[in-house]
Structure 1
Amino acid sequence: MKLKHLWKAAGLVALSAILILTLCLAGLLALVLRSAQITQFWNAPLTKLSQSLVLEEGRYHFTGEDLLAQQDLWLMLVGRDGQVLWQYNKPAEVPDQYDLLDVAAFTRWYLEDYPVQTRIRPDGLLVAGAPKGSTWKLTISLSEQILHLLPVWGVLLFFLSLICVLALAALLLRRWFRQDQQARDEARSDWINGISHDIRTPLSMVMGYAGQLEADSALPPARRDQAAIIRRQSQTIRDLVNDLNLTMRLDCQMQALRKTKLDLAPFLRQTAADFLNSGLAEGFSLALDLPDQPLPSLEADEFLLRRALNNLLINCVRHNPPGAVIRLGARQTGKACLLWVENTTPDAPAPPLYQEEDGGPAHGTGLKLVAQIAAAHGGQATFFQGETFLCQLRLPMRPS
């Protein structure tokens, strides 16, 4: 999964989080508006009920029975002396006499568990009561300082929630990415292993018959030379197949490193001797450049490190005309050890370098493998091009 795909997924999650938060805020706002409507619906009848209760000739006349019936309310008027002057459908358990403390209590809360609302009139206090359990009354007090901080807290909580959602999404995306990457790596590994196996069998036959033709003295020299070319090119194909397998395993982190203590001077001498004994092409020379003082030891996989150096040496022979001088050397630099392979070609341009961005030239697979082996050891491979071709491997020294 590319980085832009991860950003798209993160943006989608962020938009989802914003949508969810918007819906929650809209729902909360709708609830508040609905509550306000209910409160207005509660207060509006109380105003009308007060207008419907009129004192005429010492008696109260009431015309708002329909309003009471709509909300199942009861009504009473408490005089200034605390005595109930008038009532309509008042429950029997509700008292007929009140003192100052009683009035102060039920005007804010409940009267005998009945939620009530009150309205002051010139002749007393009009009290409207609803059925028990129909309304929840709660008084909330906030300081102005806290009220001013509420928007800030809201914004902070929004971003905190958004960060939590994005973090959870990142964890899930990372897990899915790993699973998807593992499946792709396994599929690629199976495909490359299958192709490599299919190539090796006919390639071995080609190399075997080419070797026999090359050694057959009955053939003309030109035919024997052609057989030698076939054998060498077949070996090149075999090396490329091996490099492809190893590159894939290192790229997918499927190649376990078998690190051991490695003394560099004997290791480099043996590498140079093996390369010379394998048949260095005519017109090439190999020189070993080692310092006078002892080299440090490394924690390295001997097989992989030898493979990297062999690839560089073969690259110098394969892509240079006869007369090239190849140098293999090492030295200590700071807390690292520097290994290099260099070739100098008189009156000839240096070979093209490996470039990871565009896949490099045809011989780039071997150089890519060199870079991967260096990275697997915690080091770095650097390629230089000028009058000479130079590759430096900077590897960490073995801790003392």
Structure 2
Amino acid sequence: LIAPLAILRRQATALSAGDLSARLGPQVTRRKDELGELARTFDHMAERLDRTVAFQRQLLRDLSHELRTPLARLRVAGESEQDIEALRQRLAREVAEMEKLVGDALELVWLDTERPSLPLEEVDIVRLWDVLRENAGFETGWPIERMPCELPADCRVLGNLNGLAQALENILRNAIRHSPEGGVVRLAGRREDDQWLLWIEDQGAGVAEGELETIFRPFTRLSAARPGGDGFGLGLAIARSMIATQGGRLWAENARPGLRLKLCLQSV
């Protein structure tokens, strides 16, 4: 009894001193008593803390890097001899870009660290898609006919309306951005037992098989073979986290041609 308690005390002291790699190890975690349960809880807590801090550090490094470009453009604009109106419009665009970057990064941190429990309700996916594609068409000039929905009218899932709308909107925007001229972005799916399997696919170049998981990491840029690489690379990361808070999953596969984003959500 004394030995595992000594290990627990030593590792707890190391963790409190900032050593996030501190773990109790199998000598204690494999025990079948209360000490073993406590040890497993400790290691789980330490692992989650380690991942969270590593994620935040990486996000901070990426964010500081991404802010350099708009800040540099602001500095150049401030030193230019453009007329006042043109300069005002340029500054407004740069500020709006930085606001979106910081806002998206903060939302991603919130989703990762807080693991919010969002209220769930019945969501009509067909009606939601109609709203999203109308908004996307207004902003991008795409006719809604190029964003068809092939779901049955009874496609309803258990989710958070706002969170699900944001996730689907991010996926739709990403698909439009990487679509060829005249391309189509399609929503389809089928019911599987007590879940709905949905997918959104474009007609772009797709991505390399090794990048199918990488594209969900913050600030990831897709390969040059896939056009439309503007944006900060946060949309899909936020979409995956938002889907996860609703008990769902989001992953990617190549559609040949194009990229297919698949979602699995609880049916109603």
Aligned residue number for residue 135 of structure 2: 274
Is residue 2:262 matched to residue 1:392? yes
Aligned residue number for residue 124 of structure 2: 263
Q: Distance in 2 between matches of 1:227 and 1:256?
A: 40
Give the Å deviation of 1:321.
4.3
1:311 equivalent among 170, 173, 177: 170
SS at match of 1:322: coil
Can you list the C-alpha shifts for 1:198-234, whole angstroms capped at 9, x where unaligned?
x8xx99xx7xx9xxx9995xx6xxx99x949x83x76
Whichever residue aligns with residue 178 of structure 1, its letter is M
Q: Distance in 2 between matches of 1:271 and 1:359?
A: 24
Aligned length: 220
1:333 equivalent among 173, 192, 203: 192
Q: Distance in 2 between matches of 1:382 and 1:214?
A: 47
1:311 and 1:367 in contact (8 A); partners too: yes
Aligned residue number for residue 36 of structure 1: none
Q: Distance in 1 between matches of 2:155 and 2:143?
A: 33
2:197 and 2:262 in contact (8 A); partners too: yes
Give the Å deviation of 1:295.
1.7
2:45 equivalent among 162, 168, 178: 178
Aligned residue number for residue 109 of structure 1: none
Give the Å deviation of 1:173.
5.5
2:31 equivalent among 160, 163, 167: 163
Q: Distance in 2 between matches of 1:350 and 1:185?
A: 30
Is residue 2:157 matched to residue 1:298? yes
1:381 equivalent among 234, 240, 250: 250
Give the Å deviation of 1:388.
1.2
Matched residues, percent identical? 20
1:262 and 1:298 in contact (8 A); partners too: yes
Q: Distance in 1 between matches of 2:44 and 2:253?
A: 36
Unaligned 5+ segments in structure 1 are 15-161
Aligned residue number for residue 103 of structure 1: none
1:281 and 1:317 in contact (8 A); partners too: no
Aligned residue number for residue 287 of structure 1: 147
**Deviant stretches of 4+, over 6 Å:** 282-285
Change (3 A) 1:326 1:382: same
Change (3 A) 1:280 1:234: farther
Aligned residue number for residue 355 of structure 1: 213
Q: Which protein has greater RCO, CA pairs closer than 8 Å, 6+ apart?
A: 2
Can you list the C-alpha shifts for 1:128-177, whole angstroms capped at 9, x where unaligned?
xxxxxxxxxxxxxxxxxxxxxxxxxxxxxxxxxx8357x51451452475
Unaligned 5+ segments in structure 2 are 1-14, 222-231
TM-score normalised by L of structure 2: 0.61
Q: Distance in 1 between matches of 2:156 and 2:142?
A: 34
Q: Distance in 2 between matches of 1:340 and 1:280?
A: 21
Q: Distance in 2 between matches of 1:259 and 1:214?
A: 51
Is residue 2:236 matched to residue 1:367? yes
Give the Å deviation of 1:281.
5.1
Give the Å deviation of 1:358.
9.6
Give the Å deviation of 1:263.
1.8
Aligned residue number for residue 138 of structure 1: none
1:295 and 1:331 in contact (8 A); partners too: no
Change (3 A) 1:302 1:282: closer
Change (3 A) 1:341 1:252: same
Larger radius of gyration: 1
Whichever residue aligns with residue 369 of structure 1, its letter is I
1:381 and 1:391 in contact (8 A); partners too: yes
Whichever residue aligns with residue 303 of structure 1, its letter is N
Q: Distance in 2 between matches of 1:338 and 1:169?
A: 39
